[in-house]
Amino acid sequence: MSSAGGNRTRALKVLVGVRERRGRTLEEAVDAALAQQAEARDVEQVAQRALVDVLAAEAGERAKLLSLTDAGCTFDINTLLLREHVAETMKGKVALQQQDVERCGAAVAKCTQAVRERRSDVARNRQKVDRLKGDITALRTQRQREEDDQQDEESEEAAISRMLQERAADATGAGAEASP
């Protein structure tokens, strides 16, 4: 194993560890964003229910006002003015409540966007971890190939050496047989 290859593998392993820790932090950020989103949705639902209540109250006030002004009814002008004032006040309350619902909807949208961004961060981090692990695997494979090639060369050198020794022994043995 070459020292540079081993150092690179160790460095990549360290980076994987850093990225995996970052991944856990990002997962926690997703969980926090999801909690904020759920809370924003709850607040939005409360605002929507309040809007429904205010709309119902406004409709009731309009009905009272219309009942005063129906043809053939006698009414007190002060009562009519009071009902008109209450109806206008209810319109204002409806408008405020609608704005509140819109603000809550915007908050939910913002939280939803934050969740998407955090999930995207998690996915990108996972891709980086996978890429680093792939690099580690490639380095290990390359190192194993180099070791195998080195062993093959040593085996070939040993085989050639044995063959030369056998030939030398055969030549020495053939020369010894021819001498007597």
Q: What is the pLDDT of residues 93-143, one digit of tens each?
A: 999 999 999 999 999 999 999 999 999 999 999 999 999 999 999 999 998
* Domains identified in the chain and CATH numbers: 3-169 (1.10.287.1700)
Q: Give the residue from 6, 1, 13, 2 showing the smallest Cα distance to 134.
A: 13
Q: What is the pLDDT of residues 55-85, one digit of tens each?
A: 999 898 888 877 777 756 666 778 778 888 8
Contacts of 64 (CB under 8 A, 6+ apart): 83
Cα separation of 39 and 110, whole Å?
12
The DSSP symbol for 76 reads -
Q: Give the residue from 21, 42, 24 showing the smallest Cα distance to 111.
A: 42
Determine contact, residues 79/142, Cβ cutoff 8 Å: no
Half-sphere exposure of 42 (CA within 13 A, CB side): 6
In this predicted structure, the answer to whether residue 26 has a pLDDT above a threshold of 50 is yes
The whole-model pTM stands at 0.65
